[in-house]
Structure 1
Amino acid sequence: MDTYLQDRLAIADLMTGWMHRDLAEWDQLRALFHADAVIEITWFEGKASDFVEGSMRMSASDIRTKHLIAAPVVTFHDDKAIAETNAMVIAENVELRVGCSVHCRFYDEVERRAGAWKIVKRQVVYDMGSFTFPFGIVGLDVEAIKNYPSEYAALAYLLDKSGFPVRRVFATKGSALEKTMKDAGQAWLRS
């Protein structure tokens, strides 16, 4: 197999490796990231190692999540790559009896160090989302929902009500934040 295909497969494995989070396979989740990696998603911003600890706390809470991950689009430059990957987050708070389905894209800066591709930085662009009601319609705090962009309002509401608050605005499809994120990613890729 040629090097290009091996590199693409290695990066695709990093993206689909997010399933380790859903399965509470914490050591395998940690292995997706370089030691200095950072993550910026709705409920967490900081070092990837701290994200794993936060995910462990989340797995012990009333919120459950599942991530469906597609094949990434990868752009290479030497030992760096940008991977943009469609994903769907399905979440549910079993106590509140409400869930959500959110479509997003992981935007990852990935780097090969010592022969191994790993994630350096993970960010997300939120495309659209909606609430789900697994046991029938329940009341929601409409005013609280309005605090978030519609693309991820359902997820943010669920996270906030589950004790994992969203503290800032994140990139949405076509937003200035998405453009800024991608411009910075391209600058990193070429540096």
Structure 2
Amino acid sequence: MYDRVKHLPEYKAWVAGGGLARFANEQDLETDFVDHIFRTSPQVQIAYDRILRTMPSVLQEMTRDMRPEPTTYSQATALQAINDYEQGSGSAATSEDDDDSGEKTSNPEHRIEKEPASKQASDVVTTLQLPHSSHPKNSVNRSQPSNPPPKCHTQASNTPPSNPPHPPTPKTPPATTPPAPTPPCSTASRSAKSAKGWGTYRDAAEWQNYSSMFHPGAYITTSWTQGCLEDFIASSKEGYEKQTPHGPFPYILHRICGQTVDVQGDRAISKMKVTITCRIMLDGIEMDNEADTRFFFFLSKNAQGKWGVNFMTLLFDKDKMVLVVPGKAFDVPEEEVKQYPSGYRYLAWAESKAGRPPKMDLNAHGPERDVLYGKCKVWLEGGDVRPNLTGEDLGEW
């Protein structure tokens, strides 16, 4: 159904006018969500459906294949309809709620039936496949059971009705449910999601885009360098000059594996699972170091209402060395490697050999983990946080 409406001129005009983009922005979605609409939340599907139904041609296309649902009756109502039909009374089957309506008459020739009750009798009799009655006045048209039968008119008779007929009860219009309010767009969550640009921007040396994630003066901590945003970018540029697949400085790339965002007031914490891959040349042998890490972004909203990153650091869960060329051999000196933290001992060892002494308190299995999670809690509660985020506070930063 949704695929069909995409080709309608009215829908295309709505998209061209920015309607789809505005809806996606309000729901915190990408504009291609329509290609997998059934994977979105029920709230999103309902809101999207309501918008489509405001376009006449789209509404007509959406309801083209709809059919009326069959009516369901209780056993007592069905049996009463069967009994009336077999006795030739022609009395329409009515629901249990209509038993006291006062619309039934003792004489079938002098009765007034409401359209819904007449339709119910027709449906019940048709469903149960009763034999044709010998009474012409009670014959049932089975050729078009889905069409409502015509209203019955009062016929003249010398026998007065046992109960005076009542005028048909006016139909009550169905209650309309007000549209659910659109949830407000979380700019904090969207800003935190932009932290995924760490891998895209940093790996491609897009420093202007990279800087846009941070507030001025933000502090960044990695295993190989620590400092304010400007110092980190300067060190990264220096590393890029030496960074080649066969050069002395590790060729660093990032794989983003998942992210969570916690927002409290004008503060937020984003945690991101990242695998860091480093191509390293050791004694003429090409090696890859792969480290599984957790990135931590401390975000806040400034006086201008802009969200950005104030602090960034990480913890290392584990790492390994992998030979790039099959068949080659390389012996890692275990005694040297053991002096480094268990979560990134091979990376720390390789950084030392490249002339970059590693930061030693980024181990996910050490006491620095609890220090960092404690500072995350303080940050969300509006408290003051200073680097070193995994250890003692720095006097100057």
Distance in 2 (CA, whole Å) between partners of 1:3 and 1:55 is 38
Q: Are 2:280 and 2:289, in contact at CA under 8 Å, matched by a contact in 1?
A: no
Deviation at 1:56, TM superposition (A): 1.0
Q: Are 1:110 and 1:118, in contact at CA under 8 Å, matched by a contact in 2?
A: yes
Distance in 2 (CA, whole Å) between partners of 1:70 and 1:39 is 20
Q: Give the residue type in structure 1 aligned to 2:191.
A: A
Distance in 2 (CA, whole Å) between partners of 1:11 and 1:165 is 30
Q: Which residue pairs with 1:75 in the alignment?
A: 262
Alignment gaps of 5+ in structure 1: none
Which one has a bigger Cα radius of gyration? 2
More strand by share: 1
Q: Are 2:342 and 2:363, in contact at CA under 8 Å, matched by a contact in 1?
A: no
Alignment TM-score, normalising by the size of structure 2: 0.45
Query: Sequence identity of aligned pairs in percent?
Result: 20
Q: Which residue pairs with 1:7 in the alignment?
A: 188
Deviation at 1:7, TM superposition (A): 2.9
Q: Which residue pairs with 2:334 in the alignment?
A: 142
Q: Give the residue type in structure 2 aligned to 1:34.
A: H
Q: Which residue pairs with 1:38 in the alignment?
A: 219
Distance in 2 (CA, whole Å) between partners of 1:125 and 1:51 is 18
Deviation at 1:33, TM superposition (A): 1.4
Structure 1 runs (4+) deviating above 4 angstroms are: none
Distance in 2 (CA, whole Å) between partners of 1:38 and 1:69 is 21
Matched ranges for 1:1-191 at <5 A? 1=26, 2-61=183-242, 62=247, 63-94=250-281, 96=283, 97-113=286-302, 114-135=304-325, 136-173=328-365, 175-191=366-382
Alignment gaps of 5+ in structure 2: 1-25, 27-182, 383-397
Deviation at 1:101, TM superposition (A): 0.4
Q: Are 2:187 and 2:307, in contact at CA under 8 Å, matched by a contact in 1?
A: no
Distance in 1 (CA, whole Å) between partners of 2:185 and 2:374 is 24
Distance in 2 (CA, whole Å) between partners of 1:153 and 1:167 is 11
Distance in 2 (CA, whole Å) between partners of 1:19 and 1:125 is 20
Q: How many residues align?
A: 190
Q: Are 1:16 and 1:69, in contact at CA under 8 Å, matched by a contact in 2?
A: no
Q: Are 1:14 and 1:118, in contact at CA under 8 Å, matched by a contact in 2?
A: no
Distance in 2 (CA, whole Å) between partners of 1:176 and 1:132 is 29
Distance in 1 (CA, whole Å) between partners of 2:329 and 2:184 is 52
Deviation at 1:118, TM superposition (A): 1.4
Q: Secondary structure at the match of 1:19?
A: helix
Deviation at 1:128, TM superposition (A): 1.0
Deviation at 1:83, TM superposition (A): 0.6
Q: Are 1:29 and 1:52, in contact at CA under 8 Å, matched by a contact in 2?
A: no
Deviation at 1:24, TM superposition (A): 1.3
Query: Quick one: structure 1 residues 18 and 115, their matched pair in 2 at CA, closer, same or farther if it must change by over 3 Å?
Result: farther
What is the Cα-based RMSD across aligned positions, in Å? 1.8
Deviation at 1:95, TM superposition (A): 6.0
